[in-house]
Chains A and B, each alone.
Chain A
Amino acid sequence: METTTSTTKGYRPMEYASEEGRLKIFGFWIFLGAEIVLFSTLFATYFVLVNQTAGGPSGKELFEIKIFAMETFLLLTSSFTCGLAVLAMRKQSKRGYFGWMGVTLLLGLGFLILEIEEFAMLVEMNAGPTRSAFLSAFFTLVGTHGIHVTLGIAWVTGVMIQVWKRGFTPVTSRKIFMTGLYWHFLDVVWIFLFSTIYLLGVA
């Protein structure tokens, strides 16, 4: 059934089928524009304060390549599987959706666990957020992303329950699509995080 409908003219995926769906997806894109600015403010703060270690440790001493490489891999892959889940939704495949979204959630959880471990380790090394301006900025930037991932996991789970109960409707499809956008966006933020915070920090 997937290819027959897609070639007909004027075809719209279900999430775009209703006026409400179109408005909400568009509105969500705009919200992501605001999120770009939100994170850029945190980046700006980090770059201004990156050398203000107040005699404490710097990024070079703290960041572990193995951990953030792993985190990067998990999140990149989860973005991919999340894309596949949305695709499965468009193909009306419930199994595909739950399968790929489940994988996405697991990868997201893995990422989160690594991040929490990293934070706990830093705090234990007396390199918590109150140690120096650099660490305040680091924890806040990376932590804000982490909170976003946490909210993302909660949101995806909630939407999965709703799909379980109601199947693919214009409303649930729209929600799936929006969680997808959100998840990809978190990956975009992470790309800039691992590049300019971690890689630049250790180089």
Chain B
Amino acid sequence: MEQHHSAKPHIVGYLFSLILTVLAFYVMLYTSMPMSWKITILLVLAVLQLLVQLFYFMHILEGDGAYQVINVVFGIFVAVTIVAGSIWIMLYNTMLE
């Protein structure tokens, strides 16, 4: 209940999101890792950012927390299926040129 009325989680969340963003820019622009590593790190950072927004800013656990979490998780399941599935089907495992 404390967090309803304290600015602290917001400030912490903002700091996290700034740090994660700077990290993403740094990794992509100023390092010379192999591309596959970069992409992996980038996606991990983006997911962390997502969690920051959901928990620090959007208070996903308030209200019907459990249903809301299931909703977002299922949404992400479908999203990943669509994105990864489409890329795989259209670009990687196709007999067409």
Contact = CB atoms under 8 A, between A and B. Distances in A.
Interface of A: 2-3, 6-7, 11, 13, 16, 22, 25-26, 29-30, 32-34, 36-37, 39-41, 43-45, 47-48, 65, 69, 72-73, 76-77, 79-80, 82-84, 87, 90-91, 180-181, 184-185, 187-188, 191-192, 194-196, 199-200, 202-203
Contact of B10 (A32, A41, A87): A87
Interface string B35-46: 100110011011
Contact of B4 (A6, A36, A82, A195): A6
Interface string B65-95: 0011001101110111011011100110000
B69 to A, nearest CB: 10
Q: Is the interface of B mostly helix, strand, loop or mixed?
A: helix
B78 A40 contact: yes
A16 B54 CA distance: 18
A37 B79 contact: yes
Contacts of B42: 195-196, 199-200
Given A2-B5, A76-B17, A195-B46, A203 B53 contact: no
B29 A65 contact: yes
Contact of A33 (B38, B43, B71): B71
B61 to A, nearest CB: 11
A187 B82 contact: no
A51 to B, nearest CB: 9
A2 B25 CA distance: 39
Contacts of B64: 22, 26, 29
Contacts of A187: 53, 57
B2 A16 contact: no
Nearest to A34: B75
Contact of A36 (B35, B63, B79, B86): B79
Contact of B14 (A30, A76, A196): A76
Contact of B39 (A7, A87, A181, A200): A200
